[in-house]
Amino acid sequence: MKKTCMYFIIMTLVLLFTASGSFAEGISSSSYKAGDVVEITGKIAPGQDLYLAIAQTEMFAPNDTKGVFEVKRFKKDSKKAGFALDTEIPPLYYMITNVPEKFGKVDKKRFGGPSVLMKKGQELFTSVGLKKTTVDDLVKSAGIAKGSFYKFFPSKEVLYLEILEEIEINIRSSMNDVNLKGKELSKEGIKAFLSDIVTSIDKNPIMLKMFDENALEILMRKIPKERIKKHMENDDKWFSGLFKDWQSEGYLSNMDEGVFSALFRSIFILFTQKDAIGKDLFLPTMDLLFDFIAAGIINSKEVK
């Protein structure tokens, strides 16, 4: 994906309060990746101080380094600071507390990682577009040095693609939950699922900008083929899961999985032909197309 902090982290110290008996009632997951939202619920009595640490699972000790300069520096610092060279700590961790001064000097907030670049990138790509947005614009908006950008993303095009992928995943997941999850497959449910995906894309500002400036062509030219291949493979995994779920219910028994994936991909490609179809006719045309697709899927069920 990129050189990024995709480390999995766990809650190592959950609501460690100064008074005994304080506890956390729950956390939203047992593991996370950079950029995820960590939700914690619990109780703390008035007047107590809050200490909450979130840390990377992978540990590091000074003995792990092989760099000549680092080995010398750690030997010197270990004697001065009084720590052993086999002392392990998580390289990446966050501390949340209402008394930060107890942990030393409070410095100015630093760059928040690739999630900040993705947020700022989405804002710029939506307002200015991929063509006119430069890496200089992105780093200025994020408040970081240009070199820091390339630690996470090899190019602005890859950043753009990953923003689109995140939006795509969120749209698919939410539309699946609303229209299909836990429900018996029906023509109405399939059509609503497809229609809601198209409507969500058609109302998404960065997606609209992408089609207006033909950014897909730029991405195909600028992004390495192996990264495009990875994107296609991720799409196919999602299509495959949906295909197998529907097959397990007795539908699509005579359809090839590759054709099913191509069908969904062609729906997205139709957005690039909106002008040719006619902007006023695009959504009604898609609605009729989805009617045919949904009916075909439902009618494909084997009668036992």
pLDDT tens digits, 248-289: 989 998 899 999 999 988 988 888 888 899 989 998 999 999
SS3 4: coil
Give the separation between CA 273 and CA 276, rounded to whole angstroms. Answer: 5
SS3 63: helix
Task: Specify the pLDDT at position 36.
Answer: 67
Task: Specify the pLDDT at position 15.
Answer: 34
Task: Tell me the pTM.
Answer: 0.61
More confident residue, 221 or 25: 221
Which sign, positive or negative, has the C-alpha torsion 37, 40, 46, 47?
A: negative
Q: What is the helix (H) or strand (E) element at residue 192, kind and residue range?
A: helix 187-203
Residues paired with residue 97 on neighbouring β-strands, in sequence order: 51
Task: Specify the pLDDT at position 156.
Answer: 96
SS3 52: strand
Angstrom CA distances, 182 to 28, 179, 186, 242, stand at 21, 9, 12, 13
- C-beta separation of 141 from 133 below 8 A: no
Q: What is the DSSP string of 138-189?
A: HHHHHT--HHHHHHH-SSHHHHHHHHHHHHHHHHHHHHHHHHTTTS---HHH
Reported as a pLDDT band with limits 50, 70 and 90, residue 229 is: very high
Reported as a pLDDT band with limits 50, 70 and 90, residue 135 is: very high
- C-beta separation of 58 from 7 below 8 A: yes
Residues paired with residue 40 on neighbouring β-strands, in sequence order: 27
Fold classification of 108-153 (topology level): Arc Repressor Mutant, subunit A (1.10.10)
Least confident of 102-111, 114-123, 176-185, 244-253: 102-111
Give the separation between CA 289 and CA 31, rounded to whole angstroms. Answer: 41
